[in-house]
Amino acid sequence: MDANILFRVVLLAVLVATFSISAYFRKKAREEGGVIERKEEGIIVLVLRMVFGLPLLASLLLYLFYPQWLVWSAVALPIWLRWLFVVVAVLCVPILWWIFRSIGTNISETVLIKREHQLVTTGPYQWVRHPLYATALLLIFSFSIVAGNWFIFAYFVMGLLVFRYIVIPEEEKRLIEAFGEKYEDYQMRTGALLPKIFRGDSNAT
């Protein structure tokens, strides 16, 4: 089988698996922990979701089913590098399951927190405050390398900036309001998207 076809088959399986895991745990959280309506988080966040999410999903689907439509943004990358990130993408699937399993019914589909929200600091959350965002970004990055596509990579960069400087600060402001010093202490010993090497800087990525 041609390597490019195999890449697309594996990435399609990864995409289906990640959406299935997310749907299962989010459905369970809505049934057991209630729902926060998206309209409650404000127009800016809603617009960002539309502007970022829909074109990104469209570009991924185009690569998987109509790759010829993205030839204009193709970049030649070594085959070994593309295979490496196939492995990374596959490994994101069990990591994603671990994240959802750890956060349980606290998962929210908005930047808002639930009335009965509990602060989770176990599992992947003992090292990173937002492992779900981090894994999603790693998946986008992996897709861009496997696809050899600078347009998908541009969405990774855009997503990194949006999450780090808009979504996370807004979400953490609400977490501090809910948990106060307990959350601030948690910030001091963990990174937002990556494990913290040097403790004491709550703004570490």
pLDDT of residue 96: 96
CA–CA dist 86, 159 (Å, integer): 20
Please determine, for residue 56, whether its predicted confidence score (pLDDT) is greater than 70: yes
CA–CA dist 77, 56 (Å, integer): 21
C-alpha 7: how far from chain center: 21
Closest listed residue to residue 201, CA positions, set 129, 123, 122? 129
Least confident of 2-6, 29-33, 61-65, 79-83: 29-33
pLDDT of residue 118: 82
| pLDDT tens per residue, range 149-196 | 999 999 999 999 988 988 899 889 888 988 999 999 999 999 999 998
Please determine, for residue 107, whether its predicted confidence score (pLDDT) is greater than 90: no
Domain annotation for the chain: domains and CATH numbers: 3-189 (1.20.120.1630)
Closest listed residue to residue 114, CA positions, set 49, 183, 30? 30
H/E/C letters for each residue in the chain? CCHHHHHHHHHHHHHHHHHHHHHHHHHHHHHHHCCCCHHHHCHHHHHHHHHHHHHHHHHHHHHHHCHHHHHHHECCCCHHHHHHHHHHHHHHHHHHHHHHHHHHHHCCCCCCCCCCCCCCCCHHHHCECCHHHHHHHHHHHHHHHHHCEHHHHHHHHHHHHHHHHHHHHHHHHHHHHHHCHHHHHHHHHCECCCCCCCCCCCCCC
Q: Is this structure's pTM higher than 0.85?
A: yes
Q: Of 181 and 42, which is predicted with more confidence?
A: 181
Mean pLDDT score of the chain, rounded to an integer?
A: 86
Q: Give the pair of three-digit tokens for residue 85.
A: 């990130």
Q: Of 174 and 99, which is predicted with more confidence?
A: 99
